[in-house]
Structure 1
Amino acid sequence: MHVPDGFIDTPVSVAAGVAAAGAVAVSLRGARRELAGAPGQAAQLLGAERTAPLAGLVAAFVFAVQMLNFPVAAGTSGHLLGGALAAILVGPYTGVLCVSVVLLMQGLLFADGGLTALGVNVVIMGVVTAAVAYGLFRALLAVLPRRRSSVTGAAFAAALVSVPASAAAFTLLYAIGGTTDVPIGTVLAAMVGVHVLIGIGEALITMVTVGAVLAVRPDLVYGARDRVEPLRLKVGGEFVAVTPHRAGPAPRSPRRIWLAGLAAALVLAGGVSFYASASPDGLERVAADKGFDKKAEEHAAAGSPLADYGVESITDTRISGGLAGVIGVGATVVIGTGIFRLAVLRRRRGRSGGDAPVPADNA
């Protein structure tokens, strides 16, 4: 659903950019709290220096999976938006930052999503999806049994709803600042209709990924740390809770899951992406059907050596696309991790040295 330049007029694009900048600023403050962890939370036990790379990994994984367009209808494909997955795994504020980093990398390096429309994309693909998904996810966990199946079920539902919500948000912006006179009712029906189908794919990917992390390190699923019952073993006729950490004061390092996740992202972006659907995605299909695709402007980074997810100097399509994917994953994990480390360091400096302490509720 990457909105190109030209679909939304300049005033609304600027307003969306301001809103996106504000959302990112708020998310940076919220991410400091999520990454550092409240007292007693697993994030604090792990140490913020370890949670920052995990958040960077989530951004890289979202980037990789977004390259895997899957067919949803005749001549139409969809891809992961990622806001729901990121919010559930690392927190809603950090999730917004994860998607924002992905969109920035895609726009600057791969000419995917307009640069003047970057604010629009951050709002509809990052802020809306993370807020809607995380809110619904937590609401469902509040009424569902305290089981792991409840967590994966809630993740499925939250991701499913977040995608048409994002489509509706785009339609709202298009109603205000669309550059073509198209009946908004037909745009809304088409956008929400096709993105409900895309949402099913998003929900499956989110559910499987969250379930996989729950199976090996439930303490790393931010949204469910206080809702998952600990693993219990029957000892002497009684069930005894098993701590997810090894004996001793230091918890298990997440290094293995980080390496496994990075390897998965590299394989998906560098190899599996070659088999992704080449059909236009939901927004592209609706724009073509309703006639406002002609307003799309040439991307400012169209001359990038990585434009359209290929390396300019390599003629072999498979190698070119795979190498571009690997570069994208690497750039996203490095830049994302750097941003999250910076957020954590700023929180620490605010609580130590000559700086005044930062209240936890306002961090």
Structure 2
Amino acid sequence: MHVPDGFIDAPVSAVAGVVAAGAVAVGLRGARRELDERTAPLAGLVAAFVFAVQMLNFPVAAGTSGHLLGGALAAILVGPFTGVLCIAVVLLMQGILFADGGLTALGVNITVMGVVTTVVAHILFRGLTRVLPRTRRSTTAAAFVAALVSVPAAAVAFTLIYAIGGTTDVPVGKVLTAMAGVHVLIGIGEAAITALTVGSVIAVRPDLVHGARGLAAPLKLRVDGELVDAPAAQAPSSAPADARSTRKVWVTGLAAAFVLAGVVSFYASANPDGLEKVAADQGIDEKAREHDAAGSPLADYGVKDISDARLSGGIAGVIGVAATVVVGSGVFRVVRRRRTPQAPASRTTESV
């Protein structure tokens, strides 16, 4: 659903840019509360993983494909504020390095793909987890539903923006019907990927999933006929606890992202995604402009001057994952360090 340059006029694109900038500012502030020493590195990993999976277009209808938007996945794994930042980093990398999503439309893309999907998914997920039993299965089911709804919600948001600032004269009703219809199908794929990923992480480390915190009940021991909480196990002091607790997850997740972007992406569907298909069918793309970074050595997810398509796409995917995890991890480490520490209780002394 990457909106290219020329779909939305300049004034509305500028307003969307302001909205996106405000959302990122709020995200930076909120992420300071969500991130800690363990989760800050994982947030960069989530951004890289979303980048990788977005390269895996899957067929949804005749001549149409879809790909992960990622807002729901990011919100559930690392929190809604951090999730907005993750998607913003992904879209920035895609726009600058790979000419995917217009640079003048970056605000539109962040608003639609980052803010709307993350907020809708977070609200729905939190609502479901409050009424459902606190189990791994119900949490995974809530993730499925939240992701499913977030995609057509983004399609509706794009349609509203097009209704205000579209550069072509296409009836909004036709655009809404076409966008909502195809993105409900794409939402099913999004939901499956999100539920699978969230469920896999919960199965091994529920404590690292923002939306599953408190999922595991404390171990109980019977003492003198009464159930009491068991004391927490003490970690060995041979390695820093925070680094040791996340290193395996981080390495495994990054390796998976490299494989998906560098190898599996070659087998992705070549059909246009939902927005591209609707734009071509309805004439929304009549005034689309060439991307400002069309001459980039990595444009269209291939390496310039490498003729072998498999090798070219694989290298581009690996570069994209590496760049995203470096930029994302750097951003989140800075955000974490700027977190305002709680001041220790002060002592009042008197001079006599």
Does the alignment pair 1:11 with 2:11? yes
Does the alignment pair 1:269 with 2:261? yes
Question: Does the 8 Å contact 2:202/2:212 carry over to 1?
Answer: no
Does the alignment pair 1:205 with 2:197? no
Does the alignment pair 1:295 with 2:287? yes
Does the alignment pair 1:123 with 2:115? no
Structure 1 residues 257, 10: CA separation in 2 closer, same or farther (over 3 Å shift)?
same
Structure 2 equivalent of residue 337 of structure 1: 329
Q: Secondary structure at the match of 1:18?
A: helix
Deviations 1:177-202 (A, max 9, x none): 00001110110011011000000000
Given the alignment, which residue of 58, 65, 72 partners 1:70? 58
**In 2, distance between residues paired with 1:188 and 1:13?**
19
Q: Secondary structure at the match of 2:65?
A: strand
Deviations 1:21-41 (A, max 9, x none): 0000000000011003xxxxx
Question: Does the 8 Å contact 2:168/2:284 carry over to 1?
Answer: yes
Given the alignment, which residue of 134, 140, 155 partners 2:128? 140
Q: Secondary structure at the match of 1:22?
A: helix
Does the alignment pair 1:326 with 2:318? yes
How many angstroms does 1:346 deviate by? 1.4
Letter in 1 for 2:4: P
Given the alignment, which residue of 114, 121, 133 partners 2:102? 114
How many angstroms does 1:140 deviate by? 0.1
Structure 1 residues 245, 153: CA separation in 2 closer, same or farther (over 3 Å shift)?
farther
Letter in 2 for 1:262: L
Structure 1 residues 312, 127: CA separation in 2 closer, same or farther (over 3 Å shift)?
same
**In 2, distance between residues paired with 1:295 and 1:77?**
23
Q: Gaps (5+ residues) in structure 1?
A: 37-47, 354-363
Larger Cα Rg: Structure 1 or Structure 2?
A: 2
Structure 1 residues 69, 22: CA separation in 2 closer, same or farther (over 3 Å shift)?
same
Q: Secondary structure at the match of 1:77?
A: strand
Number of positions where the alignment pairs a residue of Structure 1 with one of Structure 2? 339
Q: Secondary structure at the match of 1:3?
A: coil
Question: Does the 8 Å contact 1:232/1:239 carry over to 2?
Answer: no
How do 1:152-191 residues align onto structure 2 when only pairs under 5 Å count? Answer: 152-191=140-179
Off by >6 Å, runs of 4+ in structure 1? 231-236, 238-245
Structure 1 residues 118, 245: CA separation in 2 closer, same or farther (over 3 Å shift)?
farther
Structure 1 residues 287, 246: CA separation in 2 closer, same or farther (over 3 Å shift)?
farther
TM score, norm. by length of structure 1: 0.89
**In 2, distance between residues paired with 1:161 and 1:169?**
12
**In 2, distance between residues paired with 1:293 and 1:342?**
39
How many angstroms does 1:229 deviate by? 3.1
How many angstroms does 1:313 deviate by? 2.1
TM score, norm. by length of structure 2: 0.92
Aligned-pair identity in percent equals 73
Deviations 1:181-235 (A, max 9, x none): 1110110011011000000000000000000000100001101203x13386999
**In 2, distance between residues paired with 1:178 and 1:245?**
59
**In 2, distance between residues paired with 1:343 and 1:332?**
16
Letter in 1 for 2:169: D
Deviations 1:42-99 (A, max 9, x none): xxxxxx2x32210000000000000000000000000000000000000000000000
Structure 2 equivalent of residue 256 of structure 1: 248
How many angstroms does 1:248 deviate by? 5.9
Letter in 2 for 1:165: A
Question: Does the 8 Å contact 1:128/1:169 carry over to 2?
Answer: yes
